Amino acid sequence: MNLEGRSIYFRAAGTDLIGYLKFWLKTIFYFFSPSRPLSQFRDPNYIHAQDKHLIRKKHHGKSGWKKQNQGDFQYRDYMDYKEYLTHQKQKFNEILKMKGGFSNRYITSKRLDFYRRFHELSKYLPKSAHILCAGARQGTEVEVLRNLGFSC
């Protein structure tokens, strides 16, 4: 099977059979199912350059960063935690307004990417390990890890 030029191979190395089957069944479902319900949030009148939230404008490109780096790290210049949360929420809201979420083909390709990354984790971590997915906007990586039997 080949999706978007990606070779899909079936192997269960390091995964249990139920998680393996759950992953592939869900992935096939995402590829062939009709649009996801997020498409209801698409706004044809939304113009990204014009309608972008003020906090997104502040933190766009090279602006919105603290003046000095701390070691090898560079940090955003958030006024407070509320501004940080608003910035993170607005990124996903913009995607919803512009595209109505992500296409099934895109979700499928991301599921395959995450599967390739995570399918051998059980060689290194017990299934009872708690995994934190920072910045999981649409949750695809969380879903794949759960399909493979991990807690997120």
For 28-69, what is each residue's pLDDT tens digit? 988 888 666 778 888 999 998 889 999 999 988 888 998 888
Question: For the chain, where are the E strands, in sequence order?
Answer: 2-3, 6-7
Please state the pTM of the whole predicted model: 0.65
Q: How many domains does the chain have?
A: 2
Average pLDDT over residues 93-121: 89
The residues, ordered by sequence, that sit 6+ positions from 19 with a Cβ below 8 Å of its Cβ are 147, 148, 149
Tens digits of residue pLDDT in 60-72: 888 899 888 888 8
By residue range, what is the domain housing residue 5?
1-36+103-152
**How many residues are there in the chain?**
152
Q: What is the pLDDT of residue 36?
A: 65
95 and 108 share a domain? no
**What's residue 62's pLDDT?**
86
**Torsion angle of C-alpha atoms 43, 101, 2, 34, degrees rounded to 10:** -70
134/59 same-domain check: no
Render pLDDT for 130-152 as a digit per residue (tens, 0 to 9).
899 887 878 899 999 998 888 87
| Confidence (pLDDT) at 54 | 92
Verify that 85 and 124 share a domain, yes or no.
no
Over residues 15-33, the mean pLDDT reads 82
Beta bridge partners of residue 3, listed in sequence order: 6
Please check whether residues 57 and 86 belong to one and the same domain: yes
β-pair partners for 7: 2
Tokens read off for 103? 């296409």
